[in-house]
Amino acid sequence: MSDLHHIVIVGGGAGGLELATKLGHKLGKPGKARVTLVDAVLTHVWKPLLHEVAAGSLDSNAGEVNFRAHAKQHHFEFQLGRMSDLKRAERYVVLDPVFDEHGQEVVPERVVPYDTLVIAVGSTANDFGTPGAKEHCLLLDNLVQARRFHRLLLNAFLRAEHQQLALKTKLRIAIIGAGATGVELAAELRHASHELPSYGLHNVSSEDVELTLVEAADRILPALPERLSASATRELERLGVRVVTGNPVCEIKAGELEIKDGSSVLADMIVWAAGIKAPEFLAKLDGLETNRINQLVVEQTLQTTNDANIFAFGDCAACPQPDSDRPVPPRAQAAHQQATTLAKTLVNRLNQKEAVPYIYRDHGSLISFSHYTTVGNLMGNLSGKSMMIEGKVARMFYISLYRMHQVALHGFVRTALIWMGDKISKALHPRLKLH
Percent of the chain with pLDDT over 90: 70
Q: Which fold has domain 133-276+367-428?
A: FAD/NAD(P)-binding domain (3.50.50)
Q: What angle do CA 113, 88, 328 make, to 5 degrees?
A: 100
Helix (H, G, I), strand (E, B) or coil at 186: helix
**Rounded to an integer, what distance in angstroms lies between the CA atom of residue 176 and that of residue 197?**
26
Q: What is the pLDDT of residues 348-388, one digit of tens each?
A: 999 999 999 999 998 888 888 888 888 877 754 444 566 77
pLDDT at 386 (0 to 100)? 65
Give domain 5-123+278-350's CATH number out of 3.30.2350.10, 3.40.50.1110, 3.30.70.20, 3.50.50.60: 3.50.50.60
Helix or strand or coil: residue 406? helix
pLDDT digits 0-9 by tens, 59-113: 877 789 999 999 999 999 999 999 999 999 999 999 999 998 899 999 999 999 9
Given this model, what pLDDT does residue 385 score?
A: 63
Longest dimension (CA), the chain: 76
Q: Which residues contact 386 (CB under 8 A, 6 or more apart)?
A: 225, 364, 377, 378, 379, 380
**pLDDT score of 66:** 96
Q: By the 8 A CB rule, do 216 and 266 touch?
A: no
Q: What is the pLDDT of residue 323?
A: 81
Apex 337 CA angle, 331 and 338, nearest 5: 90
Domain ranges of the chain: 5-123+278-350, 133-276+367-428
Query: Are domains 5-123+278-350 and 133-276+367-428 of this chain identical in fold?
Result: yes
What is the DSSP code string of 217-268?
A: SSSSSTTS-HHHHHHHHHHHHHTTEEEEES--EEEEETTEEEETTS-EEE-S
Segment 130-188, tens digit of pLDDT: 999 999 999 999 999 999 999 999 888 888 777 755 446 788 999 999 999 999 999 99
Chain mean pLDDT for the chain: 90
The pLDDT tens digits of the residues spanning 417-426 come to: 988 988 888 7
Count Cβ neighbours within 10 Å for each residue of 55-83 and write b for 16 or more, e otherwise.
Answer: bbbbbbeebebebeebbeebbbbbbbbbb
Whether 318 shows a pLDDT value over 70: the answer reads: yes
What single letter denotes the amino acid at residue 19? Answer: L
Q: pTM here?
A: 0.92
pLDDT at 250: 94
CA 305 to CA 80: how far, in whole Å? 28
**277 pLDDT tier (thresholds 50, 70, 90):** very high
pLDDT at 435 over 50: yes
Instruction: Lowest mean pLDDT of 13-17, 164-168, 297-301, 407-411, name the range.
Output: 164-168
Query: Mean of the pLDDT values across residues 38-49?
Result: 94
